Amino acid sequence: MSKISALPPSGFRDFNPEEASARQNLTDLIGRVYLSHGFQRIGMPVMENLSTLHGKGGGADNEKLIFKVLKRGEELNRALAAGEGAELADMGMRFDLTLPLARYYARFREGLPKPFKVFQVGSVWRADRPQKGRYREFVQCDVDIVGAKEIGAEVDCIQAILEVFQAAGLSGVEVHINDRRLLAALRGSATEAQWAEALVALDKLDKVGIEGVEKELNAKLGAVPDGIRRALGAPEIANFESVHSESTGSIAEIVRLLQAAAPDTKIVFNPSLVRGQDYYTGTIFEVRHPELSGSLGGGGRYNRLLEVFGAAETPAFGGSIGFERLFLLLQEKAAAADTSNPQIFIPLLAAELRAPLLALASELRARGIRVDIFPDAAKLKNQFKYADDRKIPYTLLLGGDELARGEAKVKNMAQRSEETIALEPRTQFLDKMETLCKQ
Amino acid sequence: MSKISALPPSGFRDFNPEEASARQNLTDLIGRVYLSHGFQRIGMPVMENLSTLHGKGGGADNEKLIFKVLKRGEELNRALAAGEGAELADMGMRFDLTLPLARYYARFREGLPKPFKVFQVGSVWRADRPQKGRYREFVQCDVDIVGAKEIGAEVDCIQAILEVFQAAGLSGVEVHINDRRLLAALRGSATEAQWAEALVALDKLDKVGIEGVEKELNAKLGAVPDGIRRALGAPEIANFESVHSESTGSIAEIVRLLQAAAPDTKIVFNPSLVRGQDYYTGTIFEVRHPELSGSLGGGGRYNRLLEVFGAAETPAFGGSIGFERLFLLLQEKAAAADTSNPQIFIPLLAAELRAPLLALASELRARGIRVDIFPDAAKLKNQFKYADDRKIPYTLLLGGDELARGEAKVKNMAQRSEETIALEPRTQFLDKMETLCKQ
């Protein structure tokens, strides 16, 4: 057999046990926090019909990044025979979790609770050019409330997201809040097309700074529109009341309630916040962290998106955690205690000891202890190397002699100490091991 | 905007909150059991280069079922220009978890523990014709030991799989065990080609019965080979010792050890078990259940597979749980207690009560209680309908009057009873709610 490359496709990642465990623990934590707020988990396929993925009014940028799935069998033959311009694919990988949610809601809305509080933790795929820190498969963690129009939805979603950061031990996050209606009201005498260009430029503020935004606007529009000047100025909410009081009232109330719920978190009004997705219709927010360029999460109100799939106008608000960035930040900080590594290692000193050692391992597992027993009666040196490599804290040495004497040698691998413990009474032995493993 | 279909692609499924939660709980349980045996979680992309997916010697049947991912940009243009026969796809969706594991092992083997005990819980995709109970996206739960040659690997993996069924509350499973070397030794005077045909026919025993197998063999080979007659006969291991004593010795020892570890489970030698995948080299097993046609899981030893990616011959054994079938069986039995639904519902009686109610909800959540607070100050009737629809067991009624009096009305929704509880001292109130929710 010829040798084949052992690498994953470009832009995709393999996760080693440490990473895979830590990622799993983080998604578990996110699920727990979202559930604690009453959000319900739903599940959807990773691929959707292309007609679904092309359905959204906005999001055109993401549509270009769809990984398409080739048609099969007769359908593929027909498409190939049809020649240039024929669609060769029938499905595509989802590029976000919002569009599938919109489809889900349209499909099942009659039977869903009103409002529908929902979350998803899952992978999405984008055919971006691979580069450092940007992957073609990554995890999103969305939380949405469909069918609620007041700011309670905003506060519930954003608070749940903040609690995830808190539960993960990450301090120092900031929440920036704005409203699309306020940005629209800032348009003034600019034409719609000019204003769209202006917002695209403003959206780059993070990357290019104020000067960069002004430069782009001068180049494209010949001047910096007044509304953009105001958005770039002091973020005093009072200055914007005359522009769109409904927005400023709602922003002020959201800030007040979130601040009460998360007193240690900086919650601010940010009139220059745009958020690229064009389906937002009201509140928008972004979570930032001083040690990170770009955002740790964000979202907004999208009261029109669901119409795409035939639902009547339905108010909806949602947010998402940037899982990959959060994971990176947490990895750079002290890693949490590992709750997945085995706690006890049992070497196999001779093949005929399998039965009693397997029985003992089962009893320990029944106490909630993770026990790893070596599968081969290999050289003891190799078995100990294995336990060392896996950093298993305790080794239970049980040879034929020990078993005959009814005792086990318990080695503490970190302290290189050893203690002999009687196997009977069995309850006492198991209690002792349980106590050891909980230390 | 025109209306777009709200259905997922054919053969794919949406999971409602109840299903999505139950599926999540089952994958969590499987992860816990596998970890308790010292297996390590790894993670890999859902798509692989086509060269990787085509790499396996066997598994040709599954290769035909690959969902292929269309090339993009210039590469696609080049492929289209090259005309007929050019490969239009560069990647494909994984159709199992074993081949990616083989790639992973080849890539990282230098730094991995020896043996490498590993598990994966993840989706795979097959472009099968959709039909009842057969889906194009489904979950597999694999457990493997790479680099161990003795039967300890067999026992460890199969025992872990049996513990999953036990932990999930499923009784009545049976384990059938055979050995590919024994099947090979039964060949007798048949040619290799004839024997391959004979095993394909034998593999259908479950579906077509003994008569069906004999009929196919008579049609294809003109007779039923002696070895097949023996395999279809009495499963007395003693009758097969003369055929291949190494296999029968190993099977007997595996049965003995598993039987000791799982005394209530039927563990049997089954000389007619084939398992379709042609990469198996030794022990093969299958888990069955009387209420199910087909298998609940299975696997085997594959000592040659890793050579595909350039590793030297490496002994390996692995097994897999048929997640979708297990889930179906469990659903048909009594569903487990729901650990994801909210426990307390707080209606919002007036918008100005948001701040105190949010604060109270946070305090309850800090006690580990799942609390759902209504986002809008909607009609109370609608709010109660929501709590009913979601089957939330307790409602905490806190209007302005109740807050002023420092008390809450706690409604038990199932019993339609109501009790007034003082909000202070706060610790006492929270204790009371915690006790209620734990009942």
Tens of pLDDT, residue by residue over A344-390, are: 999 999 999 999 999 999 999 999 999 999 999 999 999 999 999 88
* B296/chain A closest Cα distance in angstroms: 23
- Asked whether the predicted pLDDT for residue A336 surpasses 80, the reply is no
In this prediction, residue B337 carries a pLDDT of 58
Contact A19 B43 (CB under 8 A): yes
Residue among B7, B48, B375 whose CB faces A9 most closely? B48
Distance from CA of B49 to the nearest CA of A (A): 6
Mean of the per-residue pLDDT values of chain B: 92
* Separation between Cα atoms, residue A164 and residue B352, nearest integer Å: 26
pTM check: above 0.95? no
| ipTM of model | 0.91
Enumerate the residues of chain A whose CB falls inside 8 A of the CB of residue B374: 152
Chain A residues close to B91, C-beta within 8 Å: 9, 67
Q: In chain B, whose CA is at the least distance from the CA of A53?
A: B4
Rg (chain B; Cα; Å): 28
CB contact under 8 A, A152 and B374: yes
A104, A372, A377 member nearest B150 (Cβ): A377
pLDDT at A84: 77
Q: What is the pLDDT of residues B362-410, one digit of tens each?
A: 999 999 999 999 999 999 999 999 999 889 999 999 999 999 999 999 9
The pLDDT of residue B378: 93
Contact B41 A21 (CB under 8 A): yes
Smallest CA–CA distance, residue A17 to chain B, in Å, is 5
The answer to whether the CB atoms of B113 and A51 lie below 8 A apart is no
Query: Which comes out higher in pLDDT, residue A435 or A279?
Result: A435
Per-residue CA distances from A242 to A178, A248, A254 (Å): 15, 9, 19
Mean pLDDT on A37-61: 85
Give chain A positions within 8 Å (CB) of B30: none
Q: How many interface pairs between A and B have CB atoms less than 8 angstroms apart?
A: 311
At A332, is the pLDDT very low, low, confident or very high (cuts 50, 70, 90)? confident
**Start-to-end Cα distance in chain A:** 50
d(CA A223, nearest CA chain B) in Å = 34
Q: For A45, which of B9, B373, B375 is closest by C-beta distance?
A: B9
Please give, rounded to a whole number of angstroms, the shortest distance from the CA of A131 to a CA of chain B.
17
Given a cut of 90, whether residue B133 has pLDDT beyond it is no
CB–CB contact A123 B46 (8 Å): yes
Measure CB to CB from residue A4 to each of B72, B308, B345 and give the nearest one.
B308
Predicted local confidence at residue B58, as pLDDT: 46
Cβ–Cβ of B376/A40 closer than 8 Å? no
Most B CBs within 10 Å: which of A3, A4, A46, A63, as the mutation test of the B interface? A4
Chain A residues lying within 8 Å of B14, measured CB to CB? 42-45, 104, 107-108
pLDDT at A4 over 90: no
Tell me the mean pLDDT in the region B66-91: 91
Is residue B123 pLDDT above 50, yes or no? yes
Contacts of B21 in chain A (CB under 8 A): 40-41
- Do B36 and A257 lie within an 8 Å CB cutoff? no
Q: B2, B10, B13, B16: best mutation site toward chain A, by most A Cβ within 10 Å?
A: B16
pLDDT at site B5: 86
Secondary structure string (H, E, C) spanning chain B:
CCCCCCCCCCCCCCECHHHHHHHHHHHHHHHHHHHHCCCEECECCCEEEHHHHCCCCCCHHHHCCCCEEECCHHHHHHHHHCCCCCCCEEEEECCCCHHHHHHHHHHHHHHCCCCEEEEEEEEEECCCCCECCECCEEEEEEEEEECCCCCHHHHHHHHHHHHHHHHCCCCCCEEEEEEHHHHHHCCCCCCHHHHHHHHHHHCCHHHHHHHHHHHHHHHHHCCCCHHHHHHHCCCCHHHHCCCCHHHHHHHHHHHHHHHHHCCCCEEEECCCCCCCCCCCCCEEEEEECCCCCCCCEEEEECCCHHHHHCCCCCCEEEEEEEHHHHHHHHHHCCCCCCCCCCCEEECCCCHHHHHHHHHHHHHHHHCCCCEEECCCCCCHHHHHHHHHHCCCCEEEECCHHHHHHCEEEEEECCCCEEEEEECCCHHHHHHHHHHHHHC
Instruction: Give me the mean pLDDT over the B308-337 stretch.
Output: 84
**Confidence band, pLDDT 50/70/90 cuts, at residue B2:** low
Average pLDDT, chain A: 92
* Residue A69, amino acid: V
Q: Is the pLDDT of residue A69 over 50?
A: yes
**Cβ–Cβ of B103/A6 closer than 8 Å?**
yes
Q: By three-state DSSP, how is residue A243 classified?
A: coil
Contact (CB<8Å) A369/B36:
yes
Determine the residue among A39, A108, A306, A372 to mutate to test chain B binding: the one whose Cβ has the most chain B Cβ atoms within 10 Å: A372
Nearest to A370 among B1, B35, B155 (CB): B35
CA distance B180 to chain A (A): 21
**Stronger pLDDT, B113 or A294, i.e. the higher one:** B113
In chain A, residues with a C-beta closer than 8 Å to the C-beta of B107 are 6-7, 14
Is B69 close to A67, i.e. CB distance below 8 A? yes
> B7, B26, B36, B93: best mutation site toward chain A, by most A Cβ within 10 Å?
B36
Contact A261/B369, CB-based, under 8 Å?
no
Q: Which of B150, B385, B433 would best serve as a mutation to test chain A binding (most A beta carbons within 10 A)?
A: B150
Q: Which of B118, B261, B362 sits opposite A362 (nearest CB)?
A: B261
pLDDT of A58 reads 46
Work out the average pLDDT over A396-407: 93
Position B1 confidence tier, pLDDT thresholds 50, 70, 90: very low
* Tens-digit pLDDT profile for residues A150-185: 999 999 999 999 999 999 999 999 999 999 999 999
In chain B, pLDDT over 70 holds for what percent of residues?
97
Contacts of A67 in chain B (CB under 8 A): 47, 69-70, 72, 91
Q: Which of A17, A43, A351 sits opposite B15 (nearest CB)?
A: A43
